[in-house]
Amino acid sequence: MDQGSHCTEGELVEAVNRITAFSTTSSSDKEENQPKAEISCQVRKENPEKDDLQDPNATLSPHSSMTTKELQDYWRNEKRQCRQVKLLFEIPSARIVEHHFSKYVMYKIIILQTGSFDSNKSVIERRYSDFEKLHRNLLEEFSEEMEDTAFPKKSLTGNFTEEIINERKLAFKDYLRLLYSMKDIRRSKKFIDFLTRPELQEGYGCLRGGQYTKALEILLEVIGLQERLMRNNPVSVVPTLCAIVVCHKDLDNPASAFEYGEKALSRLGVQSNHRYYMPLLETMIRLAYELGKDFLSLQEKLEEWKTKKDPVRVFTLKELAVREYVQ
């Protein structure tokens, strides 16, 4: 973990000691001159990007009623807020696949968020040809940025030896790390598609086939990665969230469907022109009614939307979902 991206333990202890000292001040002293403490975490970064960072400054006005444990918990939470959120790429292993008359190597890619536990990791597999296609596509759009980016060359022989596979594991790890370090590339559709599209295609394929349990398993895995990759564009994850709503609904899990529907609505915000807005509202109203929740505010939004729009045929949420990622 980047030691410059969060408060040090020394700073935390010093802050707690200072505030604890304040809490032991007599009441008369407080009335005459009540102290206030401000301790801030400074995030050091090589390439400052406003939308990639959370607010690194935290201010606390201490109260005498707070215990030492409460203060420690507070500063532990503040440290988490100060962390710079980035993704790390690891390629710990690879496997040789023989399918009919073809043979290739699948590289296991683990994507971790800095400052997170293993529960937040995403695991995908890609083969050499997938990396090669990504490289070609990025060169078309980012030729200048990619000018000095090395890519492991294909060998005529020896592609399945342990030595070559280990070399490529390291090379692909460095390659992904370098691509992610470039803002325009990591936000590009081509880079994000490389990391998410195969799994999304599989998940939506299961949904269309009525395999809702399998579809849900895949989509829940990929939505976490999508949200970490597209923090600057939260609306882009709405289709996947809505597909998860459809799966939960068809699996008779209305509470979980409503939970993910709320997430989708929050990502949409005020973008009532989005194709998912009205179908999602209709689904949420039905779910709220089924769960005994207040749906009047949702109904008001739906009526407001209808008064602004010409009467046109609108797909249901499920109809929209099954149309995503159709080959």
Residue 228 clears pLDDT 80, i.e. is over it: yes
| pLDDT of res. 77 | 56
Provide the whole-model pTM.
0.73
Measured CA to CA, the distance from residue 245 to residue 237 in angstroms comes to 13
Does residue 52 contact residue 12 with C-beta atoms inside 8 Å? no
Which alpha helices (H) appear in 67-211, and where do they start and end? 68-82, 128-141, 162-181, 183-186, 189-208
Whether 98 and 30 have beta carbons less than 8 Å apart is answered as no
Structure tokens at 85: 């959120």
Residue 138 has pLDDT above 50, yes or no: yes
Q: What pLDDT, on the 0 to 100 scale, is given for residue 156?
A: 74
- The average pLDDT across 202-215 equals 97
Answer whether residue 178 shows pLDDT above 60: yes
Which CATH number, 1.25.40.10, 3.40.50.2300, 3.40.50.300, 3.40.50.2000, labels domain 198-322?
Answer: 1.25.40.10
**CATH number corresponding to 86-187:** 3.30.1520.10
Q: Which of 22-31, 56-65, 100-109 has the highest mean pLDDT?
A: 100-109
Read off the DSSP letter of residue 5.
Answer: G
CA distances from 148 to 89, 90, 120, 143, 151 (A): 20, 22, 32, 9, 10
Predicted confidence (pLDDT) at residue 280 exceeds the cutoff of 80: yes
Q: CA 294, CA 283: separation in Å to the nearest integer?
A: 14
Establish how many alpha carbons lie within 13 A of residue 125's alpha carbon, considering only the half-sphere containing its beta carbon: 9
Residues linked to residue 97 through DSSP beta bridges, in sequence order: 104
Average pLDDT across the chain, whole number: 81
Domain ranges of the chain: 86-187, 198-322
